[in-house]
Amino acid sequence: MQLIKCNNYQSWAYKTDEACILVDPWLSEFQEIPGARWLLYREKTSDHYFLRYNLIDKVTHLVITAHFSDHLDPESLKYFDKSITIFTTKHASHALSKLGFTNIVVVKPGDKFDINDMSLEIEEAGKPYNSSSFAYYLHSNGKTVFHEPHTINKNFVSKHPIEVLISTTDLVKVFGMVMVSMSYNKLKKIIDKNHVEYMAPTGSKPSDSKGLLARVLYIKEENQNVIFNDNRVCSNSYDSFVI
């Protein structure tokens, strides 16, 4: 299984000989709250990997982990056939239906799906996203990736040995109180406790978000070249890693 960081934010892909899963695709010029760019937006700084290399027609499945505009971007979804299988939340399914998609699978913790030579296993998201998003394991050829797009609960114990953990590493709090993105210091304890082999940062450069809501965020970005050691993978746009 090949893991690809598709841009410099939080879009990921998994490729094997039999399937290609794209997660939270962002292929448009802006991520924005529809009709309210002034409230929150982010401008792309690099082309999406699948646009750059003309690979859109290779995508067999989509995973959309939340209904928020930085995960579900209507402009980006115009690139895909309306019959493509999408694994997503109940909240996001309503928006996807309005966009015309017909093969929507609403997931819940504990669900398992075989995707050709890969297996998708749904896990509850960390707080405060446990009711609005989800995390997941992806298994292939005896190897496992665990992806939590927001925060991991401090008492998290993995059900499986994790080869690659995809998680946030820059601290973000709303009004300085509610943590919506992990600091590396908190994540390091989870990595050690669960004997994670490799770490891949997601939600990179939260300070690139602009608009009114961005002004209420406390952000502390890490110098990743300092805090990470040799277990870091896929930290830059277009990086890939095979497990």
DSSP state of 67: S
pLDDT at 31: 85
Cα–Cα dist 200/4, whole Å: 10
Does residue 240 surpass a pLDDT of 90? yes
Average pLDDT over residues 10-23: 97
Cβ within 8 Å of residue 150, ≥6 positions away:
66, 125, 126, 129, 133, 168, 180, 181, 182, 203
Residue ranges of the domains in the chain? 2-242
For tokens 């995707």, the residue is 115
pLDDT at 231: 83
Condensed to tens digits (0 to 9), the pLDDT of residues 78-91 reads: 999 999 999 999 99
Token pair belonging to 29: 């010029």
Query: What is the value of pTM for the model shown?
Result: 0.95
Q: Which CATH superfamily is domain 2-242 in?
A: Ribonuclease Z/Hydroxyacylglutathione hydrolase-like (3.60.15.10)
pLDDT over 90 percentage in the chain: 81
Cα–Cα dist 33/136, whole Å: 25
Cα–Cα dist 152/223, whole Å: 21
15 near 1, Cβ under 8 Å?
yes
Cα–Cα dist 73/62, whole Å: 12
Cα–Cα dist 167/152, whole Å: 8
pLDDT at 230: 63
Does residue 141 surpass a pLDDT of 70? yes
pLDDT at 51: 95
pLDDT at 228: 57
DSSP state of 103: -
Average pLDDT over residues 153-166: 96
